Structure 1
Amino acid sequence: MYDVRSRYLADTVATAGPSRLLTMLYDRLLLDVERAEVALEAGHRTEGTRLLAHAEDIVAELISSLDAGAWDGGPGLMALYSYLNSELLGASLAGSAERVAACREIIAPLRDAWCEAAFLDSPALPAQRTAPVLESAGLGVLGVG
């Protein structure tokens, strides 16, 4: 059963357009951060750290795929991604659910905005390059592979 699910997810990622891939990354990023917050609050630091490491991987992918020069807001978004990456790492090292919650407060409205932009098929979307990790045969940042 797991193989069918994995294949379905891999096919979904492989056939998704750029705006859909971006929203999928944000969906998973928010899920990882929410789960990490709950795990850290419950005292499950190992699980929280694992989830935060995955969230950091997603933010790193967002950083690598952002063409900051493609639109006026690009440099600001790049700075925000860099800040999130640093905060997620710090939260992981400190085991701080509070720092994770602060990251969630930044990520949730960003996710909502990108989902709305993708839904509207706005031409103002910044250029995103295809994620090289998704092209490889190994695990992608969505945990599919």
Structure 2
Amino acid sequence: MTYASVRSRYLDDTVATASPATLLTMLYDRLVLDLRRAEAAQRSGDRSAANGQLTHAQAIVSELISTLDVTAWDGARQLMSVYTFLLAELVQANISGDAERTAACRSLVEPLGEAWHQAADQLAAGATLEPAGSVPAGIGVARGELGVG
């Protein structure tokens, strides 16, 4: 077995056994990574690399859109609006090659990712999810879920 096949198998197993909360935070982590890489590629003039990263970021946001249950909690509809805005911005950042637009997308995604990490940690600890600190209002969810499914 090669390193690549072992790594791929490990990642497949990790995703297959992850909870919805863990999957959500994994998506956000990868989205931030894609945006950092895309921004760096745009700043260095490597449009091909930036395109690959931004296309992957768009796929992640599309997945977030398709799995968001807008009836699960009060803030879900607003989060859907953020996702649709973000998707449109990522497309425009890719078309224009605008590193500043990509950076703006990243600055929108990072605090959301941090909030979801906090919510997932609280959920894993069996705590009631309450909006607090840097967690945006509406992140507290009913039914012990993170509004994904």
TM over 0.5, yes or no? yes
SS in 2 for 1:68: coil
The residue that corresponds to 2:54 in the other structure is: 52
Structure 1 residues 79-129: Cα deviation after superposition (integer angstroms, max 9, x where no partner): 000000000000000000000000000000000000011011155243211
Q: Identify which of 91, 94, 97 aligns with 1:95.
A: 97
Gap regions ≥5 residues in structure 2? 130-140
User: Percent same amino acid among aligned pairs?
Assistant: 51
The residue that corresponds to 1:137 in the other structure is: none
Q: What amino acid sits opposite 2:146 in the alignment?
A: P
The residue that corresponds to 1:127 in the other structure is: 147
Rounded to whole Å, the distance in 2 between the matches of 1:35 and 1:94 is 16
Larger Rg: 2
The residue that corresponds to 2:76 in the other structure is: 74
Q: Identify which of 27, 31, 34 aligns with 1:32.
A: 34
The residue that corresponds to 2:107 in the other structure is: 105
Report deviation, 1:55: 0.1
Gap regions ≥5 residues in structure 1? 130-145
The structure showing larger relative contact order (alpha-carbon pairs under 8 Å, at least 6 residues apart) is 1
Contact 1:67 1:127 in 2 (8 A): yes
TM-score (norm 1): 0.87
Q: What amino acid sits opposite 1:45 in the alignment?
A: R
- Greater helix share, structure number: 1
CA RMSD of aligned residues (A): 0.9
